[in-house]
C-alpha cells in the first residue's frame, strides 16, 4: 500500500485543546487522528501521509496480536475467569511472602488494556486475559504489581526491587509482548 493509498484509508479526527497532533490505532483497527482545534484538513492529510510507515507497522502489530490472542468465546471466557480466580490468589500469596509486602485485596477484572494494577490502598487487580499467557509471564505481572506496594512508580528502585526477586524479569516481560 503506497502513501497515496494510505491517505484514502478512513480515519476519524478528534479535535481538542491539545497542542500537538497524534495518531492512535484502536483495538478495533480504527485510525484516530487527535489534533488541535485550529489544524486544517490539508495539514491532517499530510500528517497521516507522513506517518504511513507507523500506521502500517501498528496495523501489522494489531493483526499479529489478534492472531496470537483471539477474543475468546463465552465458554472460553468463563473458563479463563475461573482459572484466574483459582490461580492468581495463590501466586500473589507466594510472591508477596518472598517480597515482604502485603496486598489488601486481590480481584479479577475484564480489563483489556492492562494485565494488572495496584491501587493507592494496595489492592491488586488482574485481568482474566492474563491466563492466555505463559505461567512465567503471569508470575512477572504478579511480581510487578506487588512491587508497586513498596514503590508506587516505575523508578529504577522499583525495577531493582523486581530484579532482586526475579532476575529474569526482562525476559518474562517480553513474553507479554508476543
Strand 31-36 and strand 22-25: pairing? antiparallel
Span(s) in the chain for CATH 3.30.2010.10: 74-175
Residue 2 has pLDDT above 70, yes or no: no
pLDDT, averaged across the chain: 91
User: Which band of pLDDT confidence, cut at 50, 70 and 90, is reported for residue 174?
Assistant: very high
Predicted pLDDT at 23: 94
Burial 26-62 (b: 16+ CB within 10 A, else e): eeeeebebebeeebeeeebeebbeebbeebeebeeee
User: Which band of pLDDT confidence, cut at 50, 70 and 90, is reported for residue 7?
Assistant: very low
Percent of the chain at pLDDT > 70 equals 95
- By residue count, the chain amounts to 178
Mean pLDDT computed over 103-109: 97
How far CA 176 is from CA of 16, 101, 131, 171, in Å, comes to 33, 24, 11, 9
Strand 116-118 and strand 123-127: pairing? antiparallel
Residue 50 has pLDDT above 90, yes or no: yes
Mean pLDDT computed over 68-92: 92
CATH hierarchy code of domain 74-175: 3.30.2010.10
Predicted pLDDT at 3: 45
CA-nearest of 112, 108, 68, 75 to 91 is: 108
The three three-digit cell numbers of residue 47, written as one number: 500528517
CA-nearest of 90, 9, 17, 86 to 45 is: 9
Predicted pLDDT at 105: 96
pLDDT in tens, 82-97: 999 999 999 999 999 9
Amino acid at each position: 500500500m503506497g502513501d497515496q493509498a494510505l491517505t484514502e484509508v478512513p480515519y476519524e479526527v478528534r479535535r481538542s485543546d491539545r497542542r500537538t497532533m497524534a495518531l492512535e490505532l484502536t483495538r478495533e483497527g480504527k485510525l484516530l487522528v487527535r489534533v488541535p482545534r485550529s489544524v486544517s484538513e490539508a495539514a491532517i492529510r499530510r500528517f497521516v501521509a507522513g506517518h504511513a510507515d507507523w500506521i502500517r507497522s501498528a496495523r501489522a502489530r494489531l493483526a499479529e496480536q489478534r492472531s496470537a490472542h483471539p477474543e475468546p468465546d463465552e465458554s472460553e471466557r468463563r473458563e479463563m475467569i475461573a482459572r484466574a480466580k483459582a490461580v492468581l490468589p495463590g501466586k500473589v500469596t507466594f510472591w508477596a511472602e518472598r517480597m515482604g509486602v502485603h496486598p489488601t485485596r486481590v480481584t479479577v477484572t475484564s480489563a483489556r488494556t492492562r494485565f494488572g494494577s495496584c491501587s493507592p490502598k494496595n489492592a491488586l487487580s488482574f485481568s482474566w486475559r492474563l491466563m492466555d499467557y505463559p505461567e512465567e509471564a503471569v508470575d512477572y505481572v504478579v511480581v510487578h504489581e506487588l512491587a508497586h506496594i513498596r514503590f508506587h512508580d516505575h523508578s529504577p528502585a522499583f525495577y531493582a526491587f523486581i530484579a532482586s526477586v526475579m532476575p529474569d524479569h526482562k525476559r518474562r516481560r517480553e513474553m507479554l509482548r508476543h
